[in-house]
């Protein structure tokens, strides 16, 4: 962008957005995939996504695709959406030159998705079954989506350390046990309950007690106090993953 060259003289690209939408279902870290209807990669599973329109930026396109393919209104449902990165290998789409701006989205547990107009079918897949180097389970992903997904998983795992994003995986009102289950599912490690509690409660404004008196809810064993997400977005001090 440094010269007076006419951009119309330069090669045209198609620009898409791809979405890695994560949630926790029954304590399992899962991602939404859609089954492709047409070529290339017909029948393969892929991240949801679509083409950028003339009038919108990438974030807007990502929100639109999310709504179209899952029926989720990002603004309403407290879904977190952020840009992950752009994938631009020349041969990533066999048809022509397509550059994709990948995004990561986090949502609390959603109902089984309604396939939109675009996707033939959509379903949630446990992230663990799609791990790289595991051809035993899970599908092969279309395009470079295995790479995008791996980067997205890394991003989410890293962000839990120094942000309050874990609260986006739980309902508006939640227990500390549920919040801990998010960390354990994403990081795939067990955490000490007492220490987790101490860190979350001493962190800046990550969670607040729900209502005046902490109400109690049922379950198995002693009922747990309920909390809501605080206003902080960055987590001070951070909640670091245990060393392997």
Please give the residue ranges that form the binding site for a copy of itself (CB under 8 A): 1-8, 10-16, 18, 34, 36-39, 42, 46-58, 69, 83, 85-86, 88-90, 93, 95-101, 118-119, 142-143, 145
Strands 227-229 and 207-209: antiparallel
Q: Which partner from the list a copy of itself, DNA, none does 223 bind, CB cut-off 5 to 8 Å by kind?
A: DNA
- According to the binding rule CB under 7 A, does residue 14 interact with DNA? no
> Where does residue 226 rank: exposed (0-12), middle (13-18), buried (19+ CB within 10 A)?
buried
Region 108-167 residues binding DNA, contact defined as CB under 7 A: none
What lies within 8 Å, CB to CB, of 58 at 6+ separation is 15, 17, 52, 83, 101, 103
Does 224 bind DNA (CB under 7 A)? Our answer is yes
Q: Smallest gap, in angstroms, from Cβ of residue 193 to a copy of itself?
A: 24
* Residue from 64, 176, 184, 210 binding DNA (CB under 7 A): 176
DSSP annotation of 129: G
Q: Which does 157 bind (CB under 5 to 8 A by kind): a copy of itself, DNA, none?
A: none
The entry of DNA, a copy of itself, none that residue 3 binds, CB within 5 to 8 Å by partner kind: a copy of itself
Backbone angles phi, psi at 173, to 5 degrees: -120, 130
Among 5, 194, 213, 244, binds DNA (CB under 7 A): 194
Instruction: For the segment 79-118, give every residue that binds DNA (CB under 7 A).
Output: none
Residue 186 CB, shortest distance to DNA, in Å, is 16
Quote the CA–CA distance of 142 and 239 in Å, as a whole number.
35
Provide, rounded to whole angstroms, the least separation between the CB of residue 212 and a copy of itself: 31
For a copy of itself, give the closer residue by CB, 217 or 236.
Answer: 236
Among the listed residues 109, 193, 208, 234, the single contact to DNA using CB under 7 A: 193
Q: Is residue 216 part of the contact set for DNA (CB under 7 A)?
A: yes
Q: Give, in order, the Cα–Cα distances in Å from 126 to each of 133, 145, 173.
A: 15, 15, 24
Q: Which does 18 bind (CB under 5 to 8 A by kind): DNA, a copy of itself, none?
A: a copy of itself
Is the Cβ of residue 137 or residue 195 nearer to DNA in the bound state?
195
Distance CA 2, CA 64 (A): 32
Are β-strands 98-106 and 80-87 bridged in parallel, bridged antiparallel, or unpaired?
antiparallel
Residue among 67, 55, 78, 64 at smallest CA distance from 17 = 64
Q: Cα 109–112–116 angle (5° rounding)? A: 120
Q: Closest by alpha carbon to 186, among 22, 3, 8, 11? A: 22
Enumerate binding residues for DNA (CB under 7 A). 175-177, 192-195, 197-199, 214, 216, 218-225, 237, 240, 242
């Amino acid at each position: 962008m440094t010269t007076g060259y006419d951009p119309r003289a330069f090669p045209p690209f198609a620009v898409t957005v791809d979405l890695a939408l994560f949630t926790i279902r029954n304590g399992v870290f899962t991602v939404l995939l859609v089954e492709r209807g047409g070529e290339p990669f017909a029948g393969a599973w892929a991240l949801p996504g679509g083409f950028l329109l003339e009038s919108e930026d990438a974030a807007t396109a990502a929100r639109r695709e999310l709504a179209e393919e899952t029926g989720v209104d990002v603004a309403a449902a407290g879904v977190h959406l952020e840009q992950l990165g752009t994938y631009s290998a020349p041969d990533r789409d066999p048809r022509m030159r397509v550059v994709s701006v990948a995004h990561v989205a986090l949502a609390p547990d959603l109902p089984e998705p309604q396939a939109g107009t675009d996707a033939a079918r959509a379903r949630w897949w446990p992230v663990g079954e799609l791990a790289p180097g595991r051809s035993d389970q899970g599908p092969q992903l279309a395009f470079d989506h295995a790479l995008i997904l791996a980067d997205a998983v890394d991003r989410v795992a890293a962000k839990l350390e120094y942000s309050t994003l874990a609260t986006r995986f739980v309902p508006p009102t939640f227990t500390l046990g549920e919040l801990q289950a998010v960390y354990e599912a994403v990081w795939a490690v067990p955490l000490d309950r007492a220490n987790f509690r101490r860190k979350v409660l001493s962190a800046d404004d990550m969670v607040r007690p729900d209502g005046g008196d902490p109400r109690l809810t049922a379950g198995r064993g002693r009922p747990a106090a309920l909390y809501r997400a605080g206003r902080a977005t960055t987590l001070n001090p951070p909640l670091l993953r245990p060393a392997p």
